[in-house]
Every structure is written in C-alpha cells, then in structure tokens.
C-alpha cells in the first residue's frame, strides 16, 4: 500500500454503514441545525409572521365576501380557511430548507462533512428533520392564533392530532423538494427564489383559500388532483371544518388516503433524487 493511498484514506475516512448508524448521524446533523436556528431567532420569527399575516388578511379582509356552502358568514370562512393556511405554512418551509442546504454548499460546510465517517444521506436527512421540528413549532403558534380568530376543532382531539400529522408529513415531503433545489443551484438566494416560484401555483391552484366549484373545469381538475388539495381536504374532514366538495376526483373522495400516498411518494422520489444529487455534487 502506497503512502499516497494511506493519506487519502486518512483525509476522507469511509462512512460507516447500517441503518442505525445512518439514523444516529442524521440526528447529530439535525441537532447541529436546531442549535443554529436558536442562535438566529429572526429565522423563526419571520417564519411565524407570514402565516399570521395570511390568517388576518384572508379572514378579515376577504371573509365577508366568500360563500362557503351557501353561507357568507365570516366565521364559517375562517374555519374553512385554516386548513389551507396550515398546509401553506408547512409547504413554504421548503424555501428555507433549500436555502439552508445551498448556504452549506456555498460555504464549503458539506466538504467538512465529507471528511467525517458518516452516512452520506445523513446530511440531508438531518437538515430535513431539523426543518420538520421548526415547522411543528410554527404550527403550534399558528394554531393558537387560529383559535383566537374563531377556528375550532369539532371532531375530537384524536382526529385533530391525525390532521396535524398529515400536515407535518406533507411538510417533510416538500422539504425534500427544497433539498433537491438547494443542491441544484449555486447560491442561497437562487434557492430561495427557486423554492418559492413553484409553490405559489401549487398552493393557489387548490382548494386552500376558495372552493373549487366556480373554477374553470380544467383548473378545477388540476386543483382536485393537487397533492396540496388532498391534505387540505383531509384536514378539513378531520377537524370537522366546513368545506364539503362536489367532486368525483378520487383524492377529494378519499382525501386522507390520498394525502398519505402523495406525501410518501414525494418523499421516496425526491429523497432518492436529492441523495443522488448530493453524492454526485460532492464526489
């Protein structure tokens, strides 16, 4: 064995394998990202301000002009609205995930991780877990605000927990899309723009803020089959909020199952693509 080969192995040790080791490595990276978030509190504060603004603007500015199930009562619209706001909040975390990974790539932090004997996918998994924790905290605060503006749960605490579970699963799935975007661009600014530009049509061509009944037929079809719409409709059913849809589309007839299936498929697909991109980018 040559001295050069031995030196290379010393600088870049082979990562340890195994599912347990990969999980442990992911938790270490997640802890690092959570500590970093606590040291930059404005990240959390700004993440809270936007959804709260949406709640206030939609609930009090547009609430009186919305017809939900034949009712123009602003209180009915507020209950209809909140599932959409919750879902929008968890999906908009995608931009932060992409920007964070792009920033790590830009600063060379990923190269430092490569010098450690850790699972290659742990860097991305740890980042997405940390973003999931932050999203969960944001949902707690947002739920308190929602209660203050008149939102209520009518189907019991068990189903409400299930609804929040679906929201977190959707948010986790979308952070893998953000991870892929963050690995595919050169700067954090580009990752932020790239992470938001596609989210607006996904969230607005849906049943999140208005019923789809009055949309053009082709737009309504897109909205009914939108993974985002499935989670929103599932949450409305589990919360017991108004928003019954008159659609024969399978995701709208079985929104809970559709939400789970969509989210799992997104995780599997985009995690595979992101890890592959990460390995090729750091090879």
3-class secondary structure for 218-264?
HHHHHHHCCHHHHHHHHHHHHHCCCCCCCCCCHHHHCHHHHHHHHHH
pLDDT at 228: 96
Closest to 120 measured CA to CA, from 195, 18, 269, 268 = 18
pLDDT at 10: 44
pLDDT at 18: 62
Is 1 within a domain?
no
Query: What's the CA gap between 262 and 231, in Å, rounded?
Result: 9
Is 10 within a domain?
no
pLDDT at 262: 97
pLDDT at 104: 74
Into how many domains does the chain fold?
A: 1
| Residue 43 exposure: Cα atoms within 13 Å on the Cβ side | 19
Is 104 within a domain?
yes
Q: Helix, strand, or coil here: 84?
A: helix
Is 2 within a domain?
no
Residues 6+ apart with CB under 8 A from 254: none
Query: What's the CA gap between 187 and 106, in Å, rounded?
Result: 6
Closest to 247 measured CA to CA, from 261, 229, 262 = 229
How many C-beta atoms lie closer than 10 Å to residue 58's C-beta? 21
- Average pLDDT, consecutive stretches of 10 residues, N- to C-terminus, the chain (283 residues): 45 54 78 76 74 78 70 79 92 81 73 68 83 89 88 92 96 92 83 83 91 88 95 95 82 95 96 86 57
């Amino acid at each position: 064995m040559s001295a050069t080969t031995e030196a290379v192995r010393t600088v870049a040790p082979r990562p340890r394998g195994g599912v347990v080791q990969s999980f442990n490595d992911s938790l270490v990276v997640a802890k690092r990202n959570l500590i970093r978030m606590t040291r930059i509190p404005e990240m959390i504060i700004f993440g809270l301000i936007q959804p709260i603004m949406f709640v206030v603007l939609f609930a009090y500015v547009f609430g009186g002009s919305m017809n939900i199930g034949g009712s123009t009562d602003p209180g009915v619209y507020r209950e209809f609205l909140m599932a959409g706001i919750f879902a929008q909040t968890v999906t908009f975390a995608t931009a932060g995930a992409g920007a964070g990974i792009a920033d790590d790539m830009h600063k060379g932090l990923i190269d430092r991780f490569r010098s450690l004997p850790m699972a290659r996918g742990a860097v991305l998994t740890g980042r997405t877990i940390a973003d999931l924790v932050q999203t969960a905290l944001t949902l707690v605060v947002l739920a308190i605000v929602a209660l203050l503006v008149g939102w209520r749960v009518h189907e019991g605490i068990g189903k409400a927990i299930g609804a929040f579970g679906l929201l977190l699963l959707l948010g986790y799935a979308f952070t893998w899309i953000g991870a892929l975007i963050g690995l595919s661009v050169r700067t954090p600014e580009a990752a932020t723009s790239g992470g938001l530009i596609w989210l607006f049509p996904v969230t607005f061509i849906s049943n999140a803020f208005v019923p789809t009944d009055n949309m053009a037929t082709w737009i309504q079809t897109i909205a009914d089959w939108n993974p985002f719409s499935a989670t929103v409709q599932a949450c409305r059913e589990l919360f017991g909020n108004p928003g019954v849809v008159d659609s024969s589309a399978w995701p709208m007839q079985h929104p809970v199952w559709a939400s789970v299936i969509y989210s799992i498929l997104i995780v599997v697909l985009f995690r595979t693509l992101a890890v592959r991109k990460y390995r090729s980018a750091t090879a």
